[in-house]
């Protein structure tokens, strides 16, 4: 049997926990990291468990078993990196588990970029320049660089940006 690896699945919106349960029922090892957060309803506060990564779920299997995940409703596709399904190291999954087990969940957050966010470029020819995200389509961002008065197109998966 081939090597077991963790792969990233992209799921339908708000299907993360349903996909994880469906994969478990199929006998696959799955990890859907959840975060306990406090939510305000109209009349009270309550604690809810929400996926740490929206629309993502991790599954451990061999490459020969890749097809099995598509038997579960809500699975859209594998996340790819350099033309192949993205592999996550065991140590990274264990690190996530440890963080969620040992730290206050209100201190854990995943930051993405949105339109109107101020960002600073880290590295490359535009190093240290700041700008504003004017449009976002998937992982492709249009950033207006103030100092140059130009719009640059950035793939947020490849570029190093930080919120200002």
Domain assignment present for 113: no
Number of compact structural domains in the chain: 2
Q: Which two tokens stand for residue 74?
A: 């809500």
**Are residue 11 and residue 55 in the same domain, yes or no?**
yes
How far is CA 52 from each of CA 25, 31, 114, rounded to the nearest angstrom? 22, 11, 18
Q: What does the chain come to in residues? A: 164
Task: Using the predicted structure, report yes or no on whether residue 105 has a pLDDT greater than 70.
Answer: no
What mean pLDDT value characterizes the chain?
A: 87
CA–CA dist 35, 101 (Å, integer): 10
Domain assignment present for 125: yes
Q: Which DSSP letter does residue 25 get?
A: H
* Residue 157 pLDDT class (50, 70, 90 cuts): low
**Report field, pTM of the whole predicted structure over 0.75:** no
- How does pLDDT run across 14-58, given as a tens digit for each residue? 999 999 999 999 999 999 999 888 778 888 888 888 888 888 999
- How does pLDDT run across 112-126, given as a tens digit for each residue? 777 888 888 887 778
Q: What is the pLDDT of residue 152?
A: 87
CA–CA dist 7, 77 (Å, integer): 11
How far is CA 148 from each of CA 115, 126, 143, 158, rounded to the nearest angstrom? 19, 10, 11, 22
Domain assignment present for 73: yes
Domain enclosing residue 149, as ranges? 118-163
* Residue 155 pLDDT class (50, 70, 90 cuts): confident
CATH of the domain at 78: 3.30.70.940
Percent of the chain with pLDDT over 70: 95
**Are residue 15 and residue 82 in the same domain, yes or no?**
yes
Strand locations in the chain (E): 5-11, 29-31, 34-40, 45-51, 56-61, 75-78, 80-81, 84-85, 87-88, 118-121, 130-137, 140-145, 150-155, 161-163
């Amino acid at each position: 049997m081939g090597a077991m690896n963790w792969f990233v699945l992209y799921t339908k919106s708000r299907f993360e926990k349903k996909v994880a349960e469906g994969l478990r029922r199929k006998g696959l090892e799955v990890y859907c990291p959840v975060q306990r957060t406090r939510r305000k309803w109209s009349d009270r506060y309550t604690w809810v468990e929400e996926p740490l990564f929206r629309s993502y779920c991790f599954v451990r299997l061999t490459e020969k078993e890749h097809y099995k995940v598509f038997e579960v409703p809500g699975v859209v596709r594998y996340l790819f990196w350099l033309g192949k399904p993205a592999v996550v190291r065991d140590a990274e999954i264990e690190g996530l588990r440890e963080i969620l087990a040992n730290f206050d969940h209100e201190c854990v957050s995943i930051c993405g970029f949105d339109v109107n966010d101020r960002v600073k470029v880290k590295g490359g020819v535009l190093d240290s320049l700041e700008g504003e995200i004017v449009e976002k389509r998937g992982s492709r961002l249009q950033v207006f660089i103030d100092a140059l008065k130009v719009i640059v197109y950035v793939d947020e998966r490849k570029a190093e940006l930080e919120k200002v």
